[in-house]
Amino acid sequence: MATLEGFPASFYGEPGVMGMLANGISAFLVLLQNFNTAHTGKEAYGVENILAVHLILIGGICQLIAGLLSFRKYDHLSGTAFIGYAALWASYGATRIYSGVSDNQTTNQTSNLSLSTDLMTNISLNGSAEIPGGYFFLSIKESAIAGLIPYILLSFLLAFCSATVNYIMPFVFGAITATLIFEAVGIVASSWALIVSGVLELLILIFAIYGSAVLLLKGLTQRLALKGFGTPLFNVLLLGIGNSASAQSIGQEKKKNTKYAEPMALGFFCDSVAPFIFAFYSFGYMKSFGLGAAWVSIISFAQLFSSYYAHLRQDCYHTTKFGFHATYWLIKAWSEFVASTLIGNKSEVGSAREAMVGNWFFVVAGLILCVGSLNMDILELIHNMLFVLVTVSTVPQIPLEGYYIFFGVACALFTAVSIYGTFARLINSIAEKLLIPVGKQPVSTANMKKALKWGKSQQVGSEMVPHTDQTSDVLFYFLNGVAALSAIHSKLSSMNPTFLHLTIPWVLISGAIIQAYVSRLQVTGGGRFGSVISSIYVGVWATWTWFRFATLLQLSTGAAYAFTAGAIALLVINGFLMLIAYKNLVLLLLTTVMEVALVCFLLSTLQRLPYRLEAMLALVAIICVYGILATLVSGIFSERLIPMGPPLLKEVKKQETSPELPCPIASSRLTSGLLKIAGILEEGGVCGIPTDTVYALAASCKNPQAIEKIYNIKDRPAEKPICVCISSVEQLVAAKPPFSPLLWEFMRNVYPGGISCIVKKGDWLFQLVGPAYDRVGTQDSIMIRVPDHTVTGHLCNITGPLAITSANPSGEADSTHHSMVIRLGHKIQGVLCDGDSNEVVASTVVNCLKIDETITIVREGCVPAVKVFQIFERIKS
C-alpha cells in the first residue's frame, strides 16, 4: 500500500533486530581492536584497520537504516537511539582509521602531537604549498575525547529513557555508556582501560543478541515469546509527578501523528554533540580540527534526517530549524578545518575573515526562527536565542583574541540546553503526554497571526497554503541567501588566497551540498515544477565554488574559457527559470537578480568584473531574508499571512462538467448527509463510510442480505469474517456478555480507538446484532470495533450496530479518501464523504480469547503492538 509519502507503520518488520545487532557487532569489532592494542601496545593500521571500516559499515550504515525504519514504524526511542549510535560508531570508526593512518605515516607520533605553534605559523598560504603530512593528524586523541564525552552523556539519557519502554534496551545502552567512558580513559591512559572496555563490549554483544532474538521471535509469532520487551522497568508517567509548574497539565495528550515518529529528540541530540566538540576546540584543547571536522560532519548529516522526517510529518518549523542547524555546523566544521590544517597562520586567518560577511545571514535567519518559536514553547525560544548567540559569537569581525572564547562559551550554553531538550522531547514523545516541562507558549496563535498579518492578507479567508510546499521553500531561500552573501568579494580580497580558501566551504556546503537535499524534499512538494529551480542552483553554486578553487591553481586561459562557456549556459537556463517563476513574485525577483549575478560570474571568468556589481549578491540575500520570513510564517500557520506577491500571469482554467457519479454521495459535515446514508443502510444498502482509520464498507446488522453483498463487492473469501462496529462500550454492556473483569477493563482502555478486539461468541450477540448473528465473525468468535470518530459513532447510534470491513477489493490497498471508495460506486449504494482518512492503515487486531493468560496480535495496524502490550501489562498489574 505505497503512498507518495511512504508505507504505513505496520508494513515494516522489526527494525530493532538490525539496530540491536549492529550495536552488538560494532562493540565486538572495537573489542577485537582493543585487545590487539592492549597486547601489542600499537594502534591498528593496514589490514587490521579493516575492522574499523566494518565498524562504519555495520555500526554506522546498517544501524542508520534501522533508525530510519524505526521512525517509519512510529518508534520514537529506537529511531533516535539507532541514528544517534550510527553517528557514534561511524565517527569512532573514522577515528580508528585516522589514528592508524597517522601511526603508519609517521614513525614518531609524539613529535607530531607536540608540533609547535611556530611550525604552524610558518606554513605557506600558497595554494600550491606542500603541507607536511603529519600536520593533518594533530590532536587525534583530544578530538576523540571531545567527541566521546557528549555521546557518554546522551547514551546515559537514552538508557534512562529506554527503561520506560522495556528492560533489554537499558542494559544495552547502559553498557554502551560504560564502554564509552573506558574508551575515553583508554585513549589517554594505559591498556587496562581498553581491557575493561573490551569486557563491557562483550556484555553489549550478549545483551544485543538476546534482544534481537526477542524482537525476531516477536516479529515472526506476533507475540512476546521471550521476556524483555513490552514491560518497562518503570512507568514513564511517574516522571510527571511534581511537575505542577509545567505549561500543560500532566496527562494532557499531545497532537499525534501515527505515521512517523517525532524527530525532535534526534535534532536536539545532534545539537548536543556538534557544539560540545566546538567548545573543546575553542578553549584550545584541540590544536587542529582535522578529526573534529569528521565527527561534526557525521552528526550534522544525522541531523538532516531529523529535518527530513519533520518534512514527512509536514512540520515546517522543525524541517527548517534542523536543516538550518546542520548547515551551520557543517560550514563551521570545514571552515575551521581549512583554517587549522590548510592555513594555520592565525593572524592571516583573522585578517582574511574580516572581509567575510556570510555569517551575518545566519544571525538574521536565527532571529527569524526565534519569531517562529514564539508559537511553540519556552524551551524552543531559549534554544533558538542561544543559537543566535552562537552565530553572533562567530561573526568574523570580532577580534581574534576574543573570537574563540566567545564561541566556546556560547557553544557550552547551547549544549546544556540541547541535552535537556533531548531528554524532554524524548520522554514526552514516548509518553505522548507533556510530562517534562518545556514551558508555556510565549505568544498565543491568535496574537501571532495578528502581529504578522500584512496588508489585505489579514482578512478572513486568507489564502490557505499546503504544508508540503513551505517545508522545503524556507530552506531553499535560506541556503541561497547564505551562499550569495558568502560569495561577495572585493578586488582586494579576490587576490587573497586565504580569503578564497575560507569562503569555499561557505558557498559549496550551503549552495550545493545541502541544497541538493532540499531539491530532494521539493520533489514531493506538490509544485508543478518540483525541484527544478533548486537543482539548477545546486549547479550554479557548485560551478562558482569550483571556479574560485581553480583560481587558486592559476588557471590557464583555455580552462578559464571553459568556465565562461558554463556561465553562458547557466545564464540561458536561469532565463527559463524566470519564466516558470511567474506565479510567485518573490521567486521571480530572486531568479531575475540571479540572472544579473550570473552576468557577474561570466565577467569574472573573463577577468573583467566591475566589483560594484557584487552588490547584486547582497540583493539576492535580502530577497531570501524576506522569502524565509514569508514562507516560514505561512508554513507554521498554514495561511498566507505575509504576501509573496500576486502572480504576473493568471491561468485560465477550462470549466469541465463533472462526470456523473456512479452512486449517491453525502457530506459527513451535514446532518442531512448523515441521515441520507443512515436511510440507505436501513433499507438494506451497502455504503462507504469514514472511520478513525481508513474508509470501510458498512451494512446494517438488521439486514443480513446486505452483509452478503459486501462479500460480493470485495470478492472477499467466505472464510474471512466481518467485524461488528458499535458506537460505544455501553452498547456492548447492554447485551450483557459474560466477559471477565480483565477483558472489560482492557476494552475500556482501548475503546474508542484504532484497536479491534476478538472475543468469544455467545447468545449475548443475538441481542446486539439480531438476525446477522451467522453473518458476522466466525463460528466461535467475533471482532468488536469502536471507532474514535464522531461521524461513525453518530451513524451507529442512528442505525444500530454495523457490519464493516475495509472499503477495497480484497487484497488491494485500503481506501484513504472518499474518492477511492467512489470507484466502487457501481457496486455500492452510497458514500459518506469525509476527505482524507486519519490513518493510512487499518486498525490493530488483538485476540482476547485467552486474555486472562495473554493476548496476541493478529494484525498490527495504526496502533503499534508495543503500545497494546504496554496497556495490557499495566491493566493486568
Question: How far apart are the C-alpha atoms of 333 and 339, rounded to whole Å?
Answer: 10
Question: How far apart are the C-alpha atoms of 263 and 305, rounded to whole Å?
Answer: 8
Taking Cα atoms as reference points, which of 144, 60, 59, 132 lies closest to residue 100?
Answer: 144
User: What's the DSSP call for residue 843?
Assistant: P
Taking Cα atoms as reference points, which of 143, 416, 406 lies closest to residue 283?
Answer: 406
Helix, strand, coil proportions of the chain in percent (round to 5)? 65, 5, 30
C-alpha cell at 8: 504505513
The answer to whether 147 and 333 have CB atoms below 8 angstroms apart is no
C-alpha cell at 266: 534526534
CATH architecture of 665-876: Alpha-Beta Complex (3.90)
- The 10 Å Cβ neighbour count of residue 548 is 20
Question: How far apart are the C-alpha atoms of 357 and 515, rounded to whole Å?
Answer: 20
Taking Cα atoms as reference points, which of 4, 21, 8 lies closest to residue 65?
Answer: 21
- Report H helices in 189-286: 192-221, 264-282
Adjacent-strand bridge partners of 558 = none
**C-alpha distance from residue 256 to each of 84, 163, 422, 431, 838 (Å):** 23, 22, 19, 11, 10
- The 10 Å Cβ neighbour count of residue 53 is 14
The reported pLDDT for the residue numbered 229 is 73
What's the average pLDDT block by block, 10 residues per block, for the chain (877 residues)? Answer: 38 76 88 80 62 78 91 87 94 82 52 39 35 56 92 95 88 94 84 87 92 82 69 69 38 46 93 96 89 94 94 89 96 91 78 85 95 93 96 89 90 97 92 85 89 59 44 90 86 71 90 92 64 89 82 64 85 86 82 88 78 77 93 86 72 55 83 91 93 92 90 79 91 90 92 92 89 88 91 91 86 81 83 86 90 88 84 84
The reported pLDDT for the residue numbered 445 is 86
Q: For strand 665-667 and strand 830-833, is the pairing parallel, antiparallel, or unpaired? A: parallel
- The 10 Å Cβ neighbour count of residue 852 is 12
The reported pLDDT for the residue numbered 230 is 66
The reported pLDDT for the residue numbered 105 is 55
Taking Cα atoms as reference points, which of 65, 105, 94 lies closest to residue 82?
Answer: 65
Task: Annotate 612-640 with DSSP letters as a single string.
Answer: GGGHHHHHHHHHHHHHHHHHHHHHHHTB-
The per-residue pLDDT for range 587-620, each reduced to its tens digit, is: 889 999 999 888 888 887 887 767 666 678 889 9
Task: Annotate 292-320 with DSSP letters as a single string.
Answer: HHHHHHHHHHHHHHHHHHHHHTT-HHHHH
Reduce the secondary structure of 108-163 to three states and give it as a string: CHHHHHCCCHHHHHCCCCCCCCCCCHHHHHCCHHHHHHHHHHHHHHHHHHHHHHHC
